[in-house]
């Protein structure tokens, strides 16, 4: 026993601190946002979703999604699972105790029956000299942290997904309203064309062309109705509800931030959940490698037994006596050392893979920020141009209609002007949706949707 303790002490002096804690690898974030990069220290990703999306109907939908969405609930159960795994890893430091009572009854050649019993409590304790248990615990802690980031990633995606579907509904509503209004005007134009034909001012071809365009517009209303129903069903699926009509506001009443601060790229490392999750994967691989290396060194275990027994070798003692024993063991891998070294190589390769995945996740995140901001800026830049285009087309429609009534213009010119006006009006609505969607996507790309911290809740 004394020799075992001496070996333990020598191992402690040589093995303590062999494995260093994880440190983040050097990553280059310069130019990660491309032309969108700024030196600001703030970002809209830190804005709470209640402040980001102020539409009461949308806020109600988001709350329902956070309560009922099955993907988010599944992610929350994953957090509880990894929390239990971490607790198990922490308990591995403590000794294990076992209670295993035994009893026998024996008789030889029909002689007196002998009864023996043994009521021991055994204990075993592995000394963490070479950080095997420590690395396992650190790996479990990284897994737990990763599961929380996965939950946050699901939450961020859920919030932005509900918002995008909601604004898609508002866009389709606006397009349906414009198309329906245009259909009513075309219906009146068809009646006007028929009257002009009876008066000999136009031909049957003109009337037929007007009727065909009117019917095409009416048919597009059914397409829009189908798209609205599809989006409503998709939104209900995210809310874990049966299909139903979604209460909502109007597109032109939406108010979203116009000052879109993207911050500095390095902030993404601490705010965006998928980037943090990728780093925690790298951290797990790092500690997995360290744990595999620790298997190359001896395992030292102390064990002991305390109990009550009436069996003293070949003798039976009644009443029983107290039994105490202690032992120490040292296990050094010999024949399986090659397998352990191969496991280290496997874990090291997985660590390099995780490092590349972390770097690629960061690059993808930067591209998403740049794409979202460019989408918003592009749609915003077209706002004034589209407004002027619609004004010009409205004048063109009015002028060609007057000219046709005086036989100075053909019905084809009127048709072209009216079709161009409808197309421009629908495009204007789509531009507004692209602008809003760009904001939502940027909010998601910057890791928005986090809960209030305990300090902020106070």
Q: Is residue 271 part of a domain?
A: yes
Q: How confident is the model at residue 457 (pLDDT cuts 50, 70, 90)?
A: very low
Q: Which of 120-124, 166-170, 418-422 has the weakest average pLDDT?
A: 120-124
Q: Is residue 109 part of a domain?
A: no
Q: Is residue 148 part of a domain?
A: yes
Indicate the SS3 state at residue 259.
coil
Q: Is residue 76 part of a domain?
A: yes
Task: Please list, in sequence order, all residues whose beta carbon lies within 8 angstroms of the beta carbon of residue 205, skipping any fewer than 6 positions away.
Answer: none
Q: What average pLDDT does this structure show over 429-450?
A: 90
Q: Between 218 and 91, name the one with better pLDDT.
A: 218
Q: Between 375 and 411, name the one with better pLDDT.
A: 375
Residue 212 CA from chain centroid, whole number: 48
List pLDDT tens digits, range 51-82.
899 999 999 999 999 999 999 999 999 999 99
Q: What are phi and psi of 199, to 5 degrees?
A: -85, 0
How many domains would you assign to the chain? 1
* Straight-line distance from the first to the last Cα atom of the chain, in angstroms, rounded to the nearest whole number: 57
Angstrom distances, CA of residue 391 to CA of 55, 414, 420, 424: 30, 16, 12, 10
Nearest to 341 by CA among 303, 299, 376, 296: 296
pLDDT of residue 315: 66
pLDDT of residue 110: 66
pLDDT of residue 3: 46
List pLDDT tens digits, range 311-321.
766 667 677 77
State the CATH number of the domain containing residue 162.
1.20.1600.10
Q: Which domain holds residue 391?
A: 2-104+116-457
**Cβ neighbours, 10 Å, residue 345:** 11
Q: What average pLDDT does this structure show over 400-428?
A: 80
- Report DSSP state, residue 201: S
Q: Is residue 91 part of a domain?
A: yes
Q: Is residue 111 part of a domain?
A: no
pLDDT of residue 2: 46
Nearest to 437 by CA among 382, 366, 365, 373: 373
- Gap between the Cα atoms of 406 and 400, Å rounded: 10
Q: Is residue 40 part of a domain?
A: yes
Q: Is residue 370 part of a domain?
A: yes
Task: Give the predicted TM-score (pTM) of the model.
Answer: 0.81
List pLDDT tens digits, range 75-134.
999 999 999 988 888 888 778 878 778 777 776 666 677 777 777 888 887 777 777 888
CB-count exposure of residue 316 (10 Å: 0-12, 13-18, 19+): middle
Highest averaged pLDDT of the listed ranges 86-100, 211-225, 254-268, 333-347 = 211-225
């Amino acid at each position: 026993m004394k020799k075992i303790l001496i070996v333990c002490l020598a191992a402690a002096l040589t093995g303590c601190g062999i494995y260093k804690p994880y440190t983040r690898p050097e990553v280059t974030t310069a130019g990660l946002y491309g032309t969108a990069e700024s030196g600001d220290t703030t970002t809209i990703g830190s804005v709470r979703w209640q402040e980001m999306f102020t539409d009461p109907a949308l806020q109600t939908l988001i709350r329902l999604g956070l309560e009922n969405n099955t993907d988010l609930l599944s992610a929350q159960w994953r957090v509880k699972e990894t929390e239990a795994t971490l607790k198990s890893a922490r308990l591995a430091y403590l000794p294990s105790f076992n209670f295993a009572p035994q009893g026998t009854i024996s008789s030889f050649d029909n002689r007196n029956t002998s009864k023996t019993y043994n009521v021991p409590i055994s204990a075993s304790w592995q000394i963490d000299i070479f950080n095997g248990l420590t690395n396992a615990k650190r790996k479990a802690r990284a897994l737990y942290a990763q599961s929380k980031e996965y939950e946050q990633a699901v939450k961020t995606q859920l919030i932005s997904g509900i918002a995008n579907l909601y604004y898609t509904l508002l866009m389709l509503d606006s397009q349906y309203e414009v198309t329906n209004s245009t259909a009513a005007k075309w219906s009146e134009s068809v009646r006007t064309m028929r009257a002009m034909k009876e008066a000999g001012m136009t031909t049957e071809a003109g009337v037929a062309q007007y009727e065909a365009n009117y019917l095409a517009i009416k048919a597009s209303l059914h397409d829009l109705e189908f798209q609205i129903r599809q989006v409503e069903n998709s939104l209900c699926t995210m809310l874990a509800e049966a299909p139903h009509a979604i209460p909502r506001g109007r597109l032109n009443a939406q108010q979203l931030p116009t000052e879109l601060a993207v911050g500095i790229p390095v902030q993404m490392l601490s705010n965006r959940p998928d980037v943090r999750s990728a780093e925690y994967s790298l951290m797990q691989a790092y500690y997995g490698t360290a744990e595999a290396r620790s298997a190359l060194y001896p395992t030292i275990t102390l064990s002991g037994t305390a109990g009550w027994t009436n069996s003293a070798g070949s003798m039976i003692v009644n009443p029983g006596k107290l039994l105490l024993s202690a032992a120490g063991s040292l296990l050094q891998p010999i024949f399986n050392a090659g397998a352990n070294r191969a496991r280290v190589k496997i874990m090291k390769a997985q660590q390099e893979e995780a490092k590349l995945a972390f770097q690629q996740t960061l690059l993808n995140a930067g591209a998403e920020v740049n794409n979202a901001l460019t989408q918003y800026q592009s749609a915003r830049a077209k706002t004034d141009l589209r407004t002027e285009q619609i004004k010009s087309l409205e004048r063109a429609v009015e002028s060609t209609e007057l000219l046709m009534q005086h036989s100075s213009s053909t019905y084809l010119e009127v048709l072209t002007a009216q079709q161009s006006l409808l197309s421009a009006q629908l495009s204007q609505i789509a531009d507004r949706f692209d602008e809003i969607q760009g904001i939502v996507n940027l909010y998601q790309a910057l890791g928005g949707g986090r809960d209030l911290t305990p300090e902020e809740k106070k």
